[in-house]
Each structure stands twice: as structure tokens, then as C-alpha cells.
């Protein structure tokens, strides 16, 4: 059975599950959170905005040099 409106909170989803006569396979509810990769990177694109190979090697060398 398909519901008319997707629940937006966990409580709404649980109340729909409890109202049904049949056994529910699972509950789905909609949250207004950004996807993990959008939250992690924001507007930065690691493929397009990456450092050149030479710059990355220089940064690694600077880290590994004893002080």
C-alpha cells in the first residue's frame, strides 16, 4: 500500500507504521539535510580544484623534512 504523503519526521513515520494492519517492511521519512559529500566539501570540487602533482610532492617533502 502506498501512502499519499511522505512523512517529514520520524514521529510521523512511526505513527503511519502503527496505523497499518499489515506488517511494514520499513519506514521512510524525508529529512532536509545536505548529502554527506555536500556537507563535507561544500562548493569545493576536489576533482576540478586539485593541486598539481608537483605542488602535492612539494607539500609532502616539506612535511617530511626534519626541522
Within a domain: 34? yes
pLDDT for position 43: 83
Evaluate whether 47 touches 23 at the Cβ level (below 8 Å): no
pLDDT for position 27: 63
CA distances from 63 to 1, 45, 46, 49 (A): 59, 24, 21, 21
pLDDT greater at residue 36 or residue 2: 36
pTM listed for this prediction: 0.34
Number of domain units in the chain: 1
Query: Domain range spanning residue 21?
Result: 10-64
- The rounded radius of gyration (Å) of the Cα atoms in the chain is 24
pLDDT for position 41: 80
The grid coordinates of residue 49 equal 580544484
pLDDT digits (tens, 9 = 90+) for 11-67: 888 887 777 666 666 666 667 888 888 888 888 887 888 889 999 999 999 999 987
Within a domain: 60? yes
Amino acid at each position: 500500500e502506498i501512502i499519499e504523503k511522505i512523512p517529514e519526521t520520524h514521529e510521523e513515520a512511526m505513527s503511519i507504521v502503527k496505523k497499518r494492519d499489515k506488517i511494514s517492511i520499513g519506514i521512510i521519512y524525508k529529512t532536509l539535510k545536505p548529502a554527506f559529500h555536500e556537507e563535507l566539501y561544500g562548493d569545493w570540487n576536489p576533482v576540478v580544484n586539485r593541486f598539481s602533482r608537483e605542488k602535492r610532492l612539494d607539500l609532502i617533502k616539506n612535511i617530511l623534512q626534519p626541522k
